[in-house]
Amino acid sequence: MRSSGTCPHAGFRLTNSPVIRFQRWLLMLSVAGCLGPLNSIGQIDSTKRELIQLGYNAALEGHPPLSAYAFFYLNEPEFVNTNMALRLAIAPTYLDSELGFRHLLGPNTDLGIDLAGGGFADSYDEIHQGTFLPAESFDGHGGEFGLSVYHLFNPGQTIPLYGVLRGLGHYATYSRNSDTADNFELPPDHETYSVRAGVRWGGRAPTLFPAFSMELSAWYEGRFRSTSGTYGYDDRTLEPQSHLFWAQAGLGYTLPKLKHSFHADLTAGTSLDADRFSAYRLGGLLPLVSEFPLSLPGYYYQEISAKDFVLLSGNYIIPFDQKQHWNLDLSAAAAWVNYLPGLTQPGNWQSGVGAGLLYKARSWRVAIGYGYGINAIRSHGRGADSVGVLMQFDLEEAKGNLFRPSEPGLWRGIERIFGLFGD
């Protein structure tokens, strides 16, 4: 799976029709959107995982597109036989999969076959200076097929260093929704052929608030389209090709004595000939919507479109009960942005802060929080408020708690069942 939310720019809009409104809410749960160039596979995962992930951001003012994700994530490291692995993400309208073959191209080189697609996977929401523009937004559907090669440069070392090379073919088709203006010309349906190369030292598990993580990575992606030209009100361009370069340094750690934990990321990206479909999009707080989420607390999801950016973000978690079930989660982010032409706004700095409660048990985690976008533009000036919910349920851990052998007895059985919901 390329990320937790693996599609090229999905998004969902409010509408006045009750039937369509219900459909939008259902489709919203497939995935709120992706970061385009930042959906990247790191390596074949050797850990068995069965996770249900949910995330939702709600703005307290304005009328943004809905932003959420809901998916089942499966990683089976010994699928069929020991040298094959299956990675699968299933959402209501989207499927993303990878079949991996360990050591197929050499003792330290793996091959992955990628297949993904679904409805509304290529939808686009136009947000300009804090205002969502439904008349300039539209639906998109598509699918893709790719091959990935992973090479381990330092076998036997504690922290792996991987090289990644990936080729991808993607087809997207676009359609109006009930809000798209009649005189707004849709972009042409087209194929995109892309190549991605990168190196990653370390990595981060696709889970909510992992206790430990470390990553240094650098990436290039070139996108080459079968069709180009103008669309919209003849005021925006689909570029024939775009080139993107980004890097990330991240560290997550839990202090042994205090049991406080933190995670900090420094991410920077630049581009050549970026357009609305390949720009970096910052905003919102949905940490598992992509492998490289560009989070800004308090902002609409993907509110900021950038050609170049530098983003520093992090969170700090403080437990306040003995079993570390209840925690205070503090977050902050600041970004310098060089905006995409046509989507500029005054000032190059964007920043936000947030706070919330996090409950952690063996099998599940739930976080409820508030975010304030310090520089976000709204009708009253600068400043925006939002609330969010994040949830993770670990089915693999839950099954282990339920069926793990222990001494027989009625109390043991009851304890095992209730152990699914906490310690």
pLDDT tens, 94-140? 999 999 999 999 999 999 999 999 999 899 999 999 999 999 999 99
The per-type count for the chain, helices as H runs and strands as E runs, is: 3, 21
Q: 299, 276, 292: which is closest to 350 by C-alpha?
A: 299
Please name which of 240, 229, 246 lies closest in space to residue 40, comparing C-alpha atoms.
246
Residue 113 forms part of a structural domain = yes
Tens-digit pLDDT profile for residues 330-341: 999 999 999 999
- The total of structural domains in the chain comes to 1
Whole-structure pTM value: 0.87
Instruction: Determine the pLDDT at residue 42.
Output: 61
Contact 284, 299 (CB under 8 A): yes
204: in domain = yes
For residues 361-373, give the mean pLDDT.
96
Model pLDDT, residue 404:
54
Would you place residue 290 in the very low, low, confident or very high pLDDT band (cuts 50, 70, 90)?
Answer: confident
Mean pLDDT check: name the lowest of 38-52, 307-321, 330-344, 354-368.
38-52
Number of C-beta neighbours around residue 354 at 10 A: 23
Strand, coil or helix: 186: coil
CA angle 31, 201, 87 (to 5 degrees): 40
Band of residue 396 on the pLDDT scale cut at 50, 70, 90: confident
111 and 164 in contact (C-beta within 8 Å)? no
Return the SS3 of 168: strand
Closest among 97, 67, 31, 4 to 299, alpha carbons compared:
67
Give the whole-angstrom CA distance, residue 177 versus residue 34: 20
- Count of CB atoms situated within 10 Å of the CB of 173: 14
Helix (H) or strand (E) holding 268: strand 261-272
SS3 content of the chain, % helix, strand, coil (to 5): 10, 50, 40
189 belongs to a structural domain: yes
Q: How is residue 318 written in tokens?
A: 């403080």
How far is the C-alpha of 212 from the C-alpha of 18, rounded, in Å?
45
| pLDDT, average across residues 409-420 | 44
Give which of 30, 3, 48, 2 is closest to 395, Cα–Cα.
Answer: 48
Containing structural domain, residue 111: 18-421
Q: Which residues pair with 192 in a beta bridge?
A: 170, 225
Q: Residue 88 is encoded by which pair of tokens? A: 């699968």
What DSSP designation does 178 have? Answer: T
Token pair, residue 296, equals: 């800004």
Q: Are 51 and 365 in contact (CB under 8 A)?
A: no
DSSP designation for 23: H
pLDDT at 65: 87
Would 219 be classed as within a structural domain? yes
Least confident of 134-148, 237-251, 280-294: 280-294
Provide the 8-state DSSP code for 284: B
**Could you tell me the CATH number of the domain that includes residue 353?**
2.40.160.50
The single-letter DSSP state of residue 416 is H
Rounded Cα distance, 248 and 37, in Å: 13
Q: What is the pLDDT of residues 239-272, one digit of tens each?
A: 999 999 999 999 999 999 999 999 999 999 999 9
Say if 10 falls within a structural domain.
no
The SS3 of residue 396 is helix
What whole-number distance in Å separates Cα of residue 91 and Cα of residue 121? Answer: 11
Residue 52 resides in a domain? yes
Quick check: is 11 in a domain?
no
Q: How far apart are CA 383 and CA 298, in angstroms?
A: 8
> For the segment 36-55, what is each residue's pLDDT rounded down to a tens digit?
333 434 678 889 999 999 99
> Token pair of 256, please?
């042994």
Does 8 map to a domain? no
Residues present in the chain in total: 423
- Inter-residue contact 307 to 279 (CB < 8 Å): yes
Q: What is the pLDDT of residues 151-167, one digit of tens each?
A: 999 999 999 999 999 99
Q: How many CB atoms lie within 10 A of CB 299?
A: 32
